[in-house]
Amino acid sequence: MSLSPQMDILYLQSVGHVLGIFTRNSEPAQMETDSSAFVGAGLNVRGLIPDGNLVIPPALIGVFRANRVWDQLLNPLSLCVSSPPALPSLMSFPGTKPSVQVAADVLKITLATAAVAQILVLALDTAGGTPAQFSTKCAGSSPIVEVTMTGLVPADTYYAFVFVETHPMALHKFVAT
């Protein structure tokens, strides 16, 4: 039995970061519209941090079908979705990885140049659990965006996964205050 000439893509809906790509022996006639059909209670993304995994809730994940491209199947985390949700396609990140600093639970994100972009921050306690979510938008007037992270447990160590539309993911480990 041969594989379908198509592939299905799971991505962060708000920022377009690809989380996973898979193929099937045959595609169903009707494409699933809810990512929970594939990820259940959450998509377990491995290999981003040395001491755990990031589980992304299905409500943040979109799914679409595209023509199979083997190179894209091999490294999905290096890709983003252009023009979601209407007629999406895959592309390499055109932007560079942002720099990230944390002081007093304020995450400072610096882009190489000012850009209009959606931003999603997932703060994962190294003790485990569901990541805290923080969303904002870079207005394009400044390359610097600050995100106040409320509700974190003081003195706990966190990973901040910083997803900026059209930019590779940045990761920053910090201790909450």
Q: What is the DSSP string of 119-158?
A: EEEEEEETT-SPPEEEEEEEESS-SEEEEE--SPPTT-EE
In this structure, are 66 and 126 located in the same domain? Answer: no
- Listed range (80-89, 97-106, 131-140, 144-153) with the worst mean pLDDT: 80-89
How far is 126 from 156, CA to CA, in rounded Å?
8
Q: Quick one: 115 and 81 in the same domain?
A: no
Residue 120 covered by a domain: yes
Q: Are residues 69 and 108 in the same domain?
A: no
> In this structure, are 14 and 83 located in the same domain?
yes
Q: Which residue has the tokens 């041969």?
A: 2
Q: How confident is the model at residue 37 (pLDDT cuts 50, 70, 90)?
A: confident
Residues 83 and 130 in one domain: no
**Residue 99 binned pLDDT confidence (cut-offs 50, 70, 90):** very high
Tell whether 108 and 45 lie within a shared domain.
Answer: no
Which domain range does residue 124 map to?
A: 99-175
**The pLDDT of residue 85:** 60
Are 67 and 144 contained in the same domain? Answer: no
Residue 84 lies in a domain: yes
Residue 126 lies in a domain: yes
Note whether 16 and 45 are same-domain residues.
Answer: yes
Top mean pLDDT of 48-57, 58-67, 166-175 is at: 166-175
- Checking if the pLDDT of 154 tops 90, the result is yes
Say if residue 128 is in the same domain as residue 59.
Answer: no
Q: Look at residues 50, 69, 92 and tell me which one is the last residue of a structural domain.
A: 92
Q: Which helix (H) or strand (E) holds 92?
A: strand 89-92
Assigned domain for 1 exists: no
Number of domains in the chain: 2
The model carries a pTM of 0.91
Whether the CB-CB separation of 45 and 57 falls below 8 Å is answered with no
pLDDT higher than 50, residue 29: yes
- Domain stop point among 45, 65, 92: 92
Q: Note the pLDDT of residue 170.
A: 97
The whole-angstrom separation of Cα 157 and Cα 177 is: 10
Whether residue 1 is predicted with pLDDT greater than 50 in this model: the reply is no
Looking at residue 5, what is its pLDDT?
79
Instruction: Look at residue 2 and tell me whether its pLDDT is greater than 60.
Output: no
CATH number at residue 148: 2.60.40
The three state secondary structure string of 36-49 is HHHHCCCEEEEEEE
